Amino acid sequence: MSGDRLKLQVRERDERGSRHARRLRADGIVPGVLYGNGNSRAIAIPERELRAAVSGPSGLHAILDVVLEGQESVHPSVLADYQQDPIRGTISHVDLREVRLDRPIHAAVVVHLVGESPGVKTGGVLSLVTREIHVEALPSDIPEHLDADLSGMEVGDVLRLEDLPPIPNVTFLDDPHETVIATVSAPRGLVELEEEEAEELEEGEEGAEAVEGEAEVGEEPQTAESSEEQ
């Protein structure tokens, strides 16, 4: 759970724009925006401090006690969105959103697959269909991730959101039955072989029906006279 409270010192910035943002990143500073109470503040955060804050036990769902430089008031916030450098993988921009700790919020929680599927051991193909689940909970109750246990999945099985155990104080917002987490399907080669066998069986049945139809057409209907002769 994201019960960790981490202090994050930031400073407001007057300049905006891509050129200014590039200069900040070159100096090891991450540009961002703090949203709250109908306002937005352009902020700058030391990249090292931000990385330490979001790499703790609660991950991206940590509660950040944001303190603006030169002020004493604390702004409890969560990471609403972020962008990463496509090459280096470092965070290049963040959106922080102030929250009330006594009011539930919506969040997207990553799915972690755990356990070994017996179906995969016998050659089945595992597919992760849904990577994030939308939940509602108090900020301190948002889970870092959801564990989806594969240990009971055979070939042909489907793991749905409704199969995951409930989490105290957390409400799943996605449809429990319609939301597919993962599947274990037969290997593609086996599927193709079964499809070919099914097609051959259909063709065989159609051929047999055609032969029966021709035989019926070739028979001469018996007349009343011929019936009497018999």
* Domains observed in the chain: 5-99 (2.40.240.10), 106-185 (2.170.120.20)
Q: Tell me, what's the pLDDT at 228?
A: 46
Instruction: List the Cα angle 208/214/219 in 5-degree steps.
Output: 130
Q: How far apart are CA 198 and CA 202, in angstroms?
A: 6
pLDDT in tens, 112-152: 999 999 999 999 999 999 999 999 999 999 998 999 999 99
Classify residue 35 as exposed, middle or buried by CB count within 10 Å of its CB (0-12, 13-18, 19+).
middle
Q: Which residue has the higher pLDDT, 188 or 153?
A: 153
Closest to 63 measured CA to CA, from 75, 71, 72, 73: 75
N-term to C-term CA, the chain:
91
Q: What is this structure's pTM? A: 0.71
Q: Tell me, what's the pLDDT at 91?
A: 87
Tokens of 214: 């021709």
Q: Which residue has the higher pLDDT, 229 or 180?
A: 180
pLDDT in tens, 20-59: 888 899 899 999 999 998 889 999 999 988 888 887 777 7
The proportion of the chain whose per-residue pLDDT surpasses 70, expressed as a percent, equals 79
Classify residue 177 as exposed, middle or buried by CB count within 10 Å of its CB (0-12, 13-18, 19+).
exposed
